[in-house]
Amino acid sequence: MINSAYTPPLDLVRRPRRNRQNAAIRALIRETRLHADNLIQPLFVKDGNGGPEAIDSMPGIERLSIKDLIKEAIQLAKLGIRAVALFPQIDPTLKDAHGKYAITDKNWFFTAIRQLKIEVPHVLIIADVALDPYTDHGHDGVLDPATGDVANDETVHILTHYATRLAAAGADMVAPSDMMDGRIGAIRDELDHEGFTQTSILAYAAKFASAYYGPFRDAVGSTTEKGTPALDKRTYQLDPANLREALLEARLDEDQGADILMIKPAGLYLDVISAVRLATTLPIAAYQVSGEYAQIHAAARAGWLDLEKARDESLLAIKRAGADIILTYFARDMAKSLRNS
């Protein structure tokens, strides 16, 4: 038995535990806080009028028809989430090697954006710019027949058209996720030329060739065979080993006119977030990707992690590292829980 009467106090000037002794003190000194204002909900959109479709590897996330997308955006706005990032799931019959459907007038995704903007005008629409939902091979651009690799300049050319059409449809921000060289400058030029000077560019500045995009590729069907999430994008996405190269990419995107710089994935790249934070004055976004979301859910389902605590900690860490904005599939749930806390 410990009898404190016989234990002389240690002669300590600093007792950091004083600042942790109760909830009120802990709240007073808390350095980082999550807020719905800083969260962006990624949403998967499908054509037609069918009901929501569950995505096995992403519990709680569904592919939504335009009608349900509008309902969801209204719900999110009520919870304080005023920005959504949209990803279309394109029917395999509309895909080809060039992703041609992307820039055709009849692309239903433009209609979806247009309707969402009309119905819920105060919610920001962020549209991803890359060809992977549209190509039958699942790469973010068109392939060079000689090398089989993604052809940079040709892809940039197509993506600038695509970005301008997204802006014309009503996207408030375009978010190039393709990692081609020079695309931010080319898109900025074209947007300005077409009169979309107020359309922002949220640049995926440092996007790593990550194993954690697997569930997303299931969600948008960007792999021909289900369960082949390991599509190799290493000739354009960054090597997970490289921090300096990430800083170079961030600088190039800033110099070419990006409004916000994004790092992706988030939780495994906290050092990159904090390094970019020191290197720029631009706002920084981080994308907690599908695999980060899926692994927390999977462990929680197995009873190995507490879902809400692991979720909160994962997001707090991303913010603490220096991200102003977080794209996360947890956005809706997080906003709900912030509302109740």
Residues marked as catalytic: 207, 264
Residue closer to ligand PBG, measured from CB, 279 or 317: 317
C-alpha to C-alpha distance for 170 and 186, rounded to whole angstroms: 20
Of these, 47, 68, 72, 140, which contacts ligand PBG (CB under 6 A)?
A: 140
Q: How far is the CB of 330 from ligand PBG (least distance, A)?
A: 12
Q: How far is the CB of 23 from ligand PBG (least distance, A)?
A: 34
Burial 32-46 (b: 16+ CB within 10 A, else e): eebebebbbbbbbbb
Residue closer to ligand PBG, measured from CB, 119 or 333: 333
Residue 177 touching ligand PBG (CB under 6 A): yes
Residue nearest to ligand PBG (CB): 216
Q: How far is the CB of 207 from ligand PBG (least distance, A)?
A: 7
Residue closer to ligand PBG, measured from CB, 196 or 293: 293
Residue 289 touching ligand PBG (CB under 6 A): yes
C-alpha to C-alpha distance for 175 and 164, rounded to whole angstroms: 12
C-alpha to C-alpha distance for 166 and 116, rounded to whole angstroms: 12
DSSP letters for 297-312: HHHHHTTSS-HHHHHH
Burial category of 258 from C-beta neighbours within 10 Å (exposed 0-12, middle 13-18, buried 19 and up): buried
Q: How far is the CB of 130 from ligand PBG (least distance, A)?
A: 3
DSSP letters for 64-94: E-HHHHHHHHHHHHHTT--EEEEEEE--GGG
Q: Name the residue among 149, 62, 135 with its Cα closest to residue 102.
A: 135
Residue closer to ligand PBG, measured from CB, 109 or 216: 216
C-alpha to C-alpha distance for 165 and 98, rounded to whole angstroms: 17
Write each residue from 179 to 218 as x if it is in contact with ligand PBG (CB under 6 A), else as -, in one continuous string: ----------------------------------x--xx-
Residue closer to ligand PBG, measured from CB, 124 or 289: 289
Interaction with ligand PBG in 120-139: which residues (CB under 6 A)?
Answer: 128, 130, 132
C-alpha to C-alpha distance for 142 and 162, rounded to whole angstroms: 13
Write each residue from 229 to 248 as x if it is in contact with ligand PBG (CB under 6 A), else as -, in one continuous string: ----x---------------
C-alpha to C-alpha distance for 334 and 39, rounded to whole angstroms: 9
Of these, 152, 199, 290, 328, which contacts ligand PBG (CB under 6 A)?
A: 290
Q: Name the residue among 255, 246, 261 with its Cα closest to residue 202.
A: 261
Q: How far is the CB of 252 from ligand PBG (least distance, A)?
A: 18
Residue closer to ligand PBG, measured from CB, 72 or 132: 132
Contacts of 43 (CB under 8 A, 6+ apart): 64, 69, 72, 73, 84, 85, 86, 87
Binding residues (CB under 6 A) for ligand PBG: these are: 128, 130, 132, 140, 177-178, 213, 216-217, 233, 289-290
